[in-house]
């Protein structure tokens, strides 16, 4: 078997090796049926069993209350930027949004196409290095919902708290932090996450929505974007992304076998403490984010001299430490250390960073 590299990609991201091996073993002949999951009717008994087990395992992992629907949809997290206002924002209503970086800004720009959006708070005055406390937020009186991105994948800025908005439905983009640690789903009206980080392959977005929020879509909402229609049809109004759904189910099984999100929290805490510790104790590397808002999953860092970026990346590649280049809009480096990236990967990265600093620092 070929040696697998340590993959720090922000997404599509590393998948657990055990999951890939299982998918490989089942690829040609799923459980003796003589065909691949990719070749099955989504309405077959076999596929329905795969789909409902994946949903149940996710429900178990996040202790999702029974009055929430779990939807397996397409269009990525980006499609949710439109789908949320089309379903939850009345034409004469207002929705509150919190701007903490590139992804929340995209969600704001898209929502503005559909109605009145109040940016209740922005991290801009803090250069996107800190999250304004809720005492600084200018919330609307009768918001249809409040939207925020719990983890900004590009900036590496993450909420370590859940906003308190009373009866206003709380809507969260959790694309890059879902399943990284325990979560109280009952505080949210809707949670969504593109799959290609902590869930599975791309082609899928998971939506967890409280049932009372279904059935509020505008009449102009496209059928395919209507949550109620998706829920009433078990996310199979049309042909779903069957293989991505199946593979996500294998990831959920893997997570359960490892001990669930509580165990992930311990592992992820150890990983991020090691990496931020290495950055903070060095003269060469730096991360500007306020300590209480540092992302557990996406760790951006800069080298003191940009001219060292290329040699750093080349040396990393040569050691099988892949995809460390920061997003094109911010530059520098970024290590994404999702659930499938083990402590061994972070140890290898930190060792390389120290070696590089010795040579070039």
Catalytic-role residue among 57, 99, 173, 177: 173
Total count of residues recorded for the chain: 361
Catalytic-role residue among 69, 105, 197, 271: 197
| Termini Cα distance of the chain | 37
Question: Under a CB-based contact definition with an 8 Å cutoff, are residues 111 and 80 in contact?
Answer: no
Distances (CA, A) of 12 to 106, 180, 340, 355: 19, 16, 12, 28
User: Residues 77, 98, 199, 213: which binds ligand PLP (CB under 6 A)?
Assistant: 77
Please give the structure tokens belonging to residue 137. Answer: 């937020």
Please tell me the chain's helix, strand, coil percentages from 3-state DSSP, rounded to the nearest 5.
40, 15, 40
User: Residues 7, 87, 176, 248: which binds ligand PLP (CB under 6 A)?
Assistant: 176
- The verdict on whether 358 is a catalytic residue reads no
Please give the structure tokens belonging to residue 163. Answer: 């906003």
Q: Which residue is nearest to ligand PLP (CB)?
A: 76
- Ranges within 10-49 binding ligand PLP (CB under 6 A): 11
Among the candidate windows 74-82, 113-121, 216-224, 339-347, which touches ligand PLP by CB under 6 A?
Answer: 74-82
User: Residues 78, 116, 286, 347: which binds ligand PLP (CB under 6 A)?
Assistant: 78
Pick 57 or 177: Cβ nearer ligand PLP: 177
Residues 6+ apart with CB under 8 A from 330: 154, 155, 300
Catalytic-role residue among 57, 99, 103, 177: 103
Question: Under a CB-based contact definition with an 8 Å cutoff, are residues 222 and 79 in contact?
Answer: no
- The verdict on whether 173 is a catalytic residue reads yes
Strand ranges in 74-145 using DSSP code E only, listed in sequence order: 94-99, 116-122
Q: How many residues bind ligand PLP (CB under 6 A)?
A: 11
DSSP symbol at 294: B
- Ranges within 103-162 binding ligand PLP (CB under 6 A): 103, 149, 153
Beta partners for residue 149, in sequence order = 173
Among the candidate windows 76-84, 238-246, 274-282, 312-320, which touches ligand PLP by CB under 6 A?
Answer: 76-84
Among the candidate windows 12-20, 27-35, 172-180, 342-350, which touches ligand PLP by CB under 6 A?
Answer: 172-180
Judged by the rule CB under 6 A, the positions of this chain that interact with ligand PLP are 11, 76-78, 103, 149, 153, 173, 175-176, 194
Annotated catalytic residues are 103, 173, 197
């Amino acid at each position: 078997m070929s040696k697998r590299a340590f993959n720090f990609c922000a997404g599509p991201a590393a998948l657990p090796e055990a999951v890939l091996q299982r998918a490989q073993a089942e690829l040609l002949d799923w459980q003796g049926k003589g065909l691949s999951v990719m070749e099955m009717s989504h309405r077959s008994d076999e596929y329905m069993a795969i789909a409902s087990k994946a949903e149940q395992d996710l429900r178990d992992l996040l202790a999702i209350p029974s009055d929430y629907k779990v939807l397996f949809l397409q269009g990525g997290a980006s499609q949710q930027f439109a789908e949320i206002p089309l379903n939850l924002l009345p034409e004469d209503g207002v929705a509150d949004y919190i701007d903490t970086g590139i992804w929340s800004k995209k969600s704001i720009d898209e929502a503005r196409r559909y109605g009145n959006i109040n940016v209740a708070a922005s991290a801009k005055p803090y250069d996107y290095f800190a999250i304004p406390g809720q005492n600084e937020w200018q919330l609307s009186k009768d918001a249809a919902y409040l939207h925020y991105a719990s983890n900004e994948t590009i900036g590496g800025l993450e909420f370590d708290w859940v906003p308190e908005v009373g009866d206003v439905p709380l809507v969260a983009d959790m694309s890059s932090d879902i399943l990284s640690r325990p979560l109280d789903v009952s505080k949210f009206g809707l949670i969504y996450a593109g799959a290609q980080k902590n869930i599975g392959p791309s082609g899928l977005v998971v939506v967890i929505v409280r049932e009372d929020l279904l059935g509020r879509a505008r009449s102009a909402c496209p059928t395919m974007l209507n949550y109620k229609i998706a829920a009433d049809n078990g996310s199979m109004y049309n042909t779903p992304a069957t293989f991505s759904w199946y593979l996500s189910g294998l990831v959920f099984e893997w997570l359960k076998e490892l001990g669930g999100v509580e165990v992930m929290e311990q592992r992820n805490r150890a990983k991020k403490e090691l990496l931020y510790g290495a950055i903070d104790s060095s003269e060469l590397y730096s991360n500007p984010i306020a300590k209480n808002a540092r992302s557990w999953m996406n760790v951006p860092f800069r080298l003191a001299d940009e001219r060292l970026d290329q040699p750093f990346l080349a040396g990393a590649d040569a050691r099988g430490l892949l995809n460390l280049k920061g997003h094109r809009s911010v530059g520098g480096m970024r290590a994404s250390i999702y659930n499938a990236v083990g402590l061994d990967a972070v140890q290898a990265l930190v060792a390389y960073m120290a070696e590089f600093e010795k040579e070039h620092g």
